[in-house]
């Protein structure tokens, strides 16, 4: 098999053909190119209708109200808006704290670092050796001074799933806001936000075969008013929370992508679970292999494994036509080691021997068979060579 095999779907996904086809209707003079805020004429009205239909579709799929959806440029922006938007109400109030975990994506961790400099305390909850948040510790750490808990649903490096229902329940009982980074789960797991104790939820379209550059922040709208300060000021779009002309083509693209992802969600999960098991069964007997995280508590879409005494970058280079990664896309070009794997208790040597393989819609059984063969072969070769 000479063709390139993509096994880095947790980093990004290709745009679905049907999504691209739909998006093409929103660019040129023949299409719907108007500004959705200029709705005194038909060009603007058509654009606004497209945006609002997308908003309704997305909210139906995630079980929210349509006015609870704010369009942003990315999950990163949504996360920034959620955390800073809350924290900016409490600047220099040293008593107030935000609770998060050590294994969040950098979008959360760096935002929290920034907030810390502005005077809000950040408390980190420890995770177990497989990467799950310890709920007893979380319960103890939440106080009357906690303004927000931000915990991810599925970890992007190891695929471990946190129990966001239980965490939401704890936050509700303690009367604190709960933000979920659901970037690795929307489009793969079903949500019914009406019945969940989640106040804020972030995700982006490019993880489920939509375009890059578009994301959502869900903001619960119920009796408990969430006072979020905007980061971007201007034309007061998106309920004044995120100014800027809406990217209609991106929004329609995301909506179409989510609709498709939702329609095949359960069968895809079954298929991918089979492929992940097949991969693991084909390599688990390689001497020195270890699994980061576990199977029981993790998403079928991600597996993180290591091979003792094999440097991951050499392995990835030797795998040539198979695209896999060392950790997350954000870390893989930098020299620092994965803080997620460190928090599982791995030493530096093991971290440098770990790789992430992530599966998606275009992954076939044939590709997995080939990957299994190649991994077995390459590891033998590297052991001989180095």
152 or 261: CB nearest ligand PLP:
152
Do you know the residue count of the chain? 386
34 or 210: CB nearest ligand PLP:
210
CB of 366 to ligand PLP, least distance (A): 27
The C-alpha atoms of residue 27 and residue 17 are separated, in whole angstroms, by 17
φ, ψ of residue 121 to 5 degrees: the values are: -75, 140
Burial per residue of 347-383, b for 16 or more beta-carbon CB atoms within 10 angstroms, e otherwise: eeebbbbbbbbbbbbebeeebbebbbebbeebbeebe
Q: Pick one of 183, 298, 338, 358: the residue that binds ligand PLP (CB under 6 A).
A: 183
Interacting residues of 225 by C-beta distance below 8 A, sequence separation 6+: none
CB of 189 to ligand PLP, least distance (A): 13
183 or 255: CB nearest ligand PLP:
183
256 or 358: CB nearest ligand PLP:
358
Helix intervals (H) in 88-235: 106-117, 135-141, 164-173
Q: Are 307 and 353 in contact (CB under 8 A)?
A: yes
Q: Pick one of 184, 250, 353, 371: the residue that binds ligand PLP (CB under 6 A).
A: 184
CB of 81 to ligand PLP, least distance (A): 12
CB of 251 to ligand PLP, least distance (A): 15
162 or 183: CB nearest ligand PLP:
183
Residue 330 known to be catalytic: yes
257, two tokens: 């992508």
* Binding pattern for the stretch 103-132 against ligand PLP, x by CB under 6 A and - elsewhere: --x-x-------------------------
212 or 342: CB nearest ligand PLP:
212
CB of 369 to ligand PLP, least distance (A): 28
CB of 127 to ligand PLP, least distance (A): 14
114, two tokens: 């920034």
Site size toward ligand PLP, by CB under 6 A: 14
Q: Pick one of 101, 156, 292, 353: the residue that binds ligand PLP (CB under 6 A).
A: 156
139, two tokens: 């319960």
Tally Cβ neighbours within 10 Å of residue 240. Answer: 12
Q: Pick one of 98, 152, 158, 340: the residue that binds ligand PLP (CB under 6 A).
A: 152
Helix intervals (H) in the chain: 17-23, 42-62, 75-87, 106-117, 135-141, 164-173, 248-263, 265-283, 312-318, 329-332, 339-343, 348-351, 365-385
55 or 207: CB nearest ligand PLP:
207
Closest CA to 230 of 81, 21, 339, 22: 81
CB of 9 to ligand PLP, least distance (A): 11
Tally of CA atoms within 13 A in the half-sphere of 370 that contains its CB: 17
Q: Which of residues 54-83 bind ligand PLP (CB under 6 A)?
A: 74-76
Q: Which of residues 288-347 bind ligand PLP (CB under 6 A)?
A: 328-329
C-alpha R_g of the chain: 22
Choices 23-31, 58-66, 160-168, 178-186 (CB under 6 A): range interacting with ligand PLP? 178-186
Single out the catalytic residue among 45, 231, 319, 330.
330
182 or 219: CB nearest ligand PLP:
182
Q: Are 315 and 379 in contact (CB under 8 A)?
A: yes
Is residue 204 within the footprint of ligand PLP (CB under 6 A)? Answer: yes
Axis-axis angle for helices 75-87, 106-117 (nearest 10) = 30
Beta-strand ranges (E) seen in the chain are 5-6, 69-72, 97-101, 121-125, 146-152, 177-181, 200-204, 215-219, 289-292, 302-307, 322-323, 354-358
CB of 311 to ligand PLP, least distance (A): 24
Chain positions contacting ligand PLP, by CB under 6 A: 74-76, 105, 107, 152, 156, 181, 183-184, 204, 206, 328-329
- Which sequence positions are flagged as catalytic? 330
């Amino acid at each position: 098999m000479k063709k390139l095999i993509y096994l880095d779907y947790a980093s990004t996904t290709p745009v679905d053909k049907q999504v691209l086809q739909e998006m093409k209707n929103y660019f040129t003079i023949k299409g719907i190119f108007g500004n959705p805020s200029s709705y005194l004429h038909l060009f603007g009205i058509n654009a606004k209708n497209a945006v609002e239909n997308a908003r309704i579709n997305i909210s139906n799929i995630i079980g929210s109200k349509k006015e609870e959806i704010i369009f942003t440029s990315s999950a990163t922006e949504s996360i920034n808006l959620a955390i800073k938007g809350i924290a900016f109400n409490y600047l220099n109030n040293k008593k107030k704290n935000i609770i998060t975990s050590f294994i969040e994506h950098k979008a959360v961790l760096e935002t929290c670092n920034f907030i810390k400099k502005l005077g809000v305390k950040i408390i980190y909850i420890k995770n177990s050796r497989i990467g799950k948040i310890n709920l007893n510790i979380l319960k103890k750490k939440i106080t009357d001074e906690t303004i927000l808990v931000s915990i991810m649903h599925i970890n992007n490096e190891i695929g471990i799933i946190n129990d966001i229902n239980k965490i939401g329940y704890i936050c509700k009982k303690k009367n604190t806001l709960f933000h979920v980074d659901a970037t690795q789960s929307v489009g793969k797991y079903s949500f019914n936000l009406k019945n969940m104790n989640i106040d804020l939820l972030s995700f982006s379209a490019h993880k489920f075969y939509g375009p890059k550059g578009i994301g959502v922040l869900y903001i619960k709208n119920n009796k408990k008013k969430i006072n979020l300060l905007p980061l971007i000021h201007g034309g007061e779009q998106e309920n004044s929370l995120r100014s800027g002309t809406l990217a209609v083509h991106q929004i329609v693209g995301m909506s179409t992508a989510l609709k498709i992802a939702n329609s095949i969600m359960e069968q895809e999960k079954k298929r991918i679970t089979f492929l992940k098991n097949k991969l693991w069964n084909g390599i688990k007997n390689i001497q020195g292999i270890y699994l980061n995280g576990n199977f029981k508590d993790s998403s079928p879409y991600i597996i993180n494994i290591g091979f003792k005494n094999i440097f991951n970058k050499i392995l990835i280079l030797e795998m040539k036509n198979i695209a896999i990664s060392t950790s997350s896309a954000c870390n893989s070009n930098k020299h620092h080691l994965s803080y997620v794997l460190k928090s599982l208790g791995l030493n530096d040597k093991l971290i440098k021997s770990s790789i992430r393989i992530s599966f998606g819609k275009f992954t076939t059984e044939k590709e997995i068979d080939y990957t299994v063969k190649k991994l077995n072969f390459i590891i033998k070769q590297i052991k001989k060579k180095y």
